[in-house]
Amino acid sequence: MSEMVHKVFLSLGSNKGRRQTNLNRAIEQISYRIGSVVSQSDFFVTEPVGFKSKHLFYNIAICIESKLDATEILEITQEIEKELGRKQKSTNGIYHDRVIDIDILLYDDCIINQPDLIIPHPRMKERGFVLQPLAQIAPDLIIPNETKTIAELLADIC
């Protein structure tokens, strides 16, 4: 753990069970185990992307301040997912209904390219369910290696 405080943006989604409760429980665990939640978007109701399901998602974005490194945050968010009831991770582009999904979108202005962790999140620019809540809390934010703001990226796909 470093002494430096990092600004981290996370995307959270749920389309199974008590969706809003699932998200609130995840946020509670994140604030307890990872760092202070400094901003949170509204809940957005969205269609599943990449798979068919009759269950709509609730999606939110949060910004946290944490002294943990990105790998530690990944480990803890995956533990939280399991503890809240997530049974399987999506692999090879095959997606499923899920109680909770937590993705690290941005970690300061770092670019991380590891086998199990890519930051900025590689598909965030094409996903309205990520950009819409993120634009609510950080519309002027620019992703590393991008020239457009989050709000402009959202406008491009709407």
Distance of CA 119 to the CA centre of its chain: 11
Q: Indicate the fold that domain 6-157 takes in CATH.
A: Alpha-Beta Plaits (3.30.70)
Q: What is the pLDDT of residue 88?
A: 57
The two beta strands, 44-46 and 57-66, are: antiparallel
Task: Please report, for the chain, the start and end positions of each structural domain, with discontinuous segments joined by +.
Answer: 6-157
Residue of 64, 22, 71 whose CA lies nearest to 43: 22
Helix H or strand E encompassing 11: strand 6-14
Write b or e for each residue in 72-106: b if 16 or more Cβ atoms lie within 10 A of its Cβ, otherwise e.
ebbebbeebbeebebeeeeeeeeebebbbbbbbbb
Q: Are 136 and 42 in contact (CB under 8 A)?
A: yes
Residue of 139, 16, 23, 29 whose CA lies nearest to 73: 29
pLDDT in tens, 9-53: 999 999 999 999 999 999 999 999 999 999 999 999 998 887 788
The neighbour count for residue 51, using CB atoms within 10 Å, is: 11
Q: What is the pLDDT of residue 54?
A: 87
Q: Would the pTM count as exceeding 0.85?
A: yes
